[in-house]
Structure formats: C-alpha cells, structure tokens
Chain A
Amino acid sequence: MNLSSDQQVLWQHGFFKLNGTIATTWAMAAVMALGAKLVTRRLKTEGAISRWQGSLEIVVTAIKKQISDVGLSQPEEYLAFLGTLFLFVATASLCTVIPGFQPPTGSLSTTAALALCVLIAVPIFGIREQGVAGYLKTYTKPTFVMLPFNIISEFSRTLALAIRLFGNMMSGVMIVGILLTITPYLFPILMTALGLLTGMVQAYIFSILAAVYIAAATLVRKPKPGAPAQPAPTH
C-alpha cells in the first residue's frame, strides 16, 4: 500500500519524473484555472449576474474579509497567495469524493512545498513592508536573547504546517482505504464526509496560519499609537 501518490511514477527521465502527485496537481490546477477563466470571461457589472459569478464573488470576498480580519490592512496584496493556498487545499479535499482520487495534499512533498512557500513568502512580504533591516530586527524581539528561538520557531512552524496538513489529509485517505476493506458500503461514505469536513477545516487553518505569519511579519514594526507592539506569534 502506497502511503503517498509520490510513489506512483507515471514517467521518468533521469532526475525528472512525473508522479501521481504532480499529475493530480496539474489536473486540479487546470480545472481551477479553466473554470475561473470560463466564469470570468463574461463578468457582468450591471443587472443580474450569473450564479457562477455570484459564487466566485462570495468566495473571493470571503477570503478577502478573512485576510482583513487577521489584521492585514491591504488584503488585495496577499489575496493571490493566501487565497490560492486556501483554494488549492480546499479543492484537493473536495476532490477526495471522487473515487480513486488521491489528493496531492496527501503527499508530504506537496505539504512541504506549500509550507516552504509560506516560509519564503513571510520574509518576502515582511521585507517588502519593512525593509531588510526592519524585518531582521524582528528576530531580536523582544530581546536579543530570543534570536535563536525565533529562528527555530520560524522553521518549526513551517514543519508543523507541512506535517499537520499531510497528516490530516493522508489519514483521511488512509482511513477510507482501510475501512473499505473492512466495512464496505455505508461507513466509508460517512468517513469520506467527515474527511471532507476535516479537509475544509485544514484548508482554513493552513491559510489562516499563513496569513497570521505574514501579518506578524508585516505589522510587528507598525504598532498603533499608544498600543503595545503585537508580538510575533510562534508555533
């Protein structure tokens, strides 16, 4: 039994290979991009809008509001990165209802890739907002003694992001697979539904945590007048 779709190698040429994870990711990305293209091709700004446009507007505005609620004052700048994180993980979870589909987020490589993206994006956004020196100084807060712990925290939380998402998604697929061999028919359906819910929650958690990390990196240097500086959350 394969724990990860990474081991389903479809094509390989030396170092390069096409496994199940990459293939499903391409398929999902193609569906998402084509669907978005199809819906946004005929956007209306007057009169009655289509149901698809309404749905996508709800999704986009909800993500934007969540980002704004976290504390990022310019949610449009982070919408593409954080929104895609959420939509990718959520779509992967949603696709688990397709029989035989193995979500790419069930692969530790994918979750590690996403966590690494967050790990890289946080300093990028922080430096863009505060400059290199300003961002690097956040590691010495509240005292210089905290510098190693802050660095450790940076990597550990990235690891936690990757492991958490991988564990939840992989476990859901594994449980369904195991249950199918023990108790077929009704029970696996319930577990799939539960896995769907868990996947959605994980998508939300993953993107919200990424937003919190970015917010911590961009807002810590800009305390409100009279208010204490917001400490960078650690994980």
Chain B
Amino acid sequence: MVTRTEKRRWPLLLLIIPFIATLLPFLYNSYQPELIGIPFFYWYQLLWTILGALVTGIVYWLKA
C-alpha cells in the first residue's frame, strides 16, 4: 500500500489551541461582555465547541 509521502506532522501542534482556550478558566471567568443576556463565561465556552471543531477540521484538511 502506498502511504502518503506528503504527510505533515506540524499541524498536530494546532490541536493544543482548544486546551489553552478552555482549560484556563481565568481567561473567561466573567459576566461581561454579555451576548443576548448570556454572560461571557457561558457563551465563550459554547462558541468554543464550534471553534474547537474548526481547529480539528483544519488539522484534518492539512493532512496531518
């Protein structure tokens, strides 16, 4: 079987981004700014469910 010779490793480093963004609560532990009445703490993390998926999607697309 032919393995893909262009396989890249570096995009895997991008996978660390969701960890930094969501596992350091002091980054987002506040009420303000609110979005449609939802405190920052809550909508920021909800937003990261989508951003986290995007990061993984980009890594896949970069063929890591």
Decide if A and B are genuine partners: no
Interface residues of A (CB under 8 A from B): none
